[in-house]
Structure 1
Amino acid sequence: MSRSSFPTRRRRGRYGGPVEIRLARTADAEAIRQIYNVEVTGSTVTFDLVPRSSEDQVAWLEARSGAMVVLVAEEAGEIVGFASLSPYKDRPAYATSVEDSVYVRADQRGTGVGRALLTELIASAGARGFHTVMARIVGHHEASIALHRAVGFETVGIEREVGRKFGQWLDVMIMQRML
């Protein structure tokens, strides 16, 4: 997807103004890290157990250039969410499949930020020649499951008790959208 397709605007925001969806920049790394680390330490939506350092976050962001994009949602100068594409699997035959991740700051959930990010991420994946987008969602995360269904993902499987965090076994729902 060319940069000319950005920004996408959403009318409703916490501050009443538009939300811009754009490609992430290195300067966004700290805001992305803060959003992500809240989920690492306080939820099961990511299976990471250790918060990212500032250096790790910059390295993660720099590794996702080219086809593996990171998008941010910015409102009134603040990053309120981010979404990224990652390789689905390492083996070469999986090269046309990617996995999505979407994280929205808690005070912005339910406002359309996640949907705007995911919609642009799907368009970006298609423009980069990918064939399918996969989502791996902790089984009880109803908001993420509903978000993915709303933009055309279908459930293709469930992995039972494949993760353990905060003393509980966690299932993962696998969802897929063909492009």
Structure 2
Amino acid sequence: MINNHKLYIDLMKKSDWPEVKMIYKEGLDTKNATFQTEVPTWEEWDSSHHICCRIVARINEEIVGWIALSPISSRIVYRGVAEVSIYISNRFSSQGIGNLLMQSLIVSSIENNFWTLQSNIFPENIPSIKLHKKNGFREVGRRKKIAQLDGVWRDTILFERRS
């Protein structure tokens, strides 16, 4: 329950894209969620994420957060390794939704034969770092000046969780 409303976890459908896209855009606007600067089209997003392990959180049919996996490599030896993307609506941050989504993703990833989940997180994104640590991710290392966002070199911290 969130504010006396029932929260439930559900599989993401194509028809969810407009709401998922809006939440993704909120994350882009923070400049602390991703190097991405434009929200992709559904076709771009769909082709870059695994079909399984796409999960949304809903309150009264409204999507308030989402989580999904994308491949880290096209090489068959890395088929069980995936990168986590998780986004929560600004209106619903710090209410435990991220934790419920992450726990659901971990279960789904194991059922779908993923053995390693990884995340690259900006050091400034403290809530995401705390969420990952709480769910068994360990810090692997800091990647200094790995890429630029708006012309500024940024670091990321690599986290991984082994199943």
Report the TM-score when normalising by structure 1.
0.84
Secondary structure in 2 matching 1:114:
helix
Displacement of 1:158: 1.2
Listed as ranges, the matches of 1:1-179 within 5 Å are 11=1, 13=2, 15-52=3-40, 56-61=41-46, 64=49, 66-67=51-52, 69-179=53-163
Distance 2:126 2:96 in 1: 15
RMSD: 1.7
- Cα distance in 2 for partners of 1:58, 1:131 equals 27
Count of aligned positions = 163
Per the normalisation by structure 2, the TM-score is 0.92
Runs of 4+ in 1 over 3 A off after TM superposition: 61-67
Separation (CA, whole Å) in 1 of partners of 2:147 and 2:50: 28
Q: Which runs of 5+ in 2 are unaligned?
A: none
Decide whether the 8 Å contact of 2:50 with 2:71 is kept in 1: no
Q: Which runs of 5+ in 1 are unaligned?
A: 1-10
Q: Measured at CA, do residues 170 and 59 of structure 1 come closer, stay the same or move farther in structure 2, by a change above 3 Å?
A: closer
Classify the secondary structure of the residue corresponding to 2:144: strand
Counterpart Cα distance in 2 of 1:66 and 1:37: 21
CA contact (8 A) 1:88 1:98 kept: yes
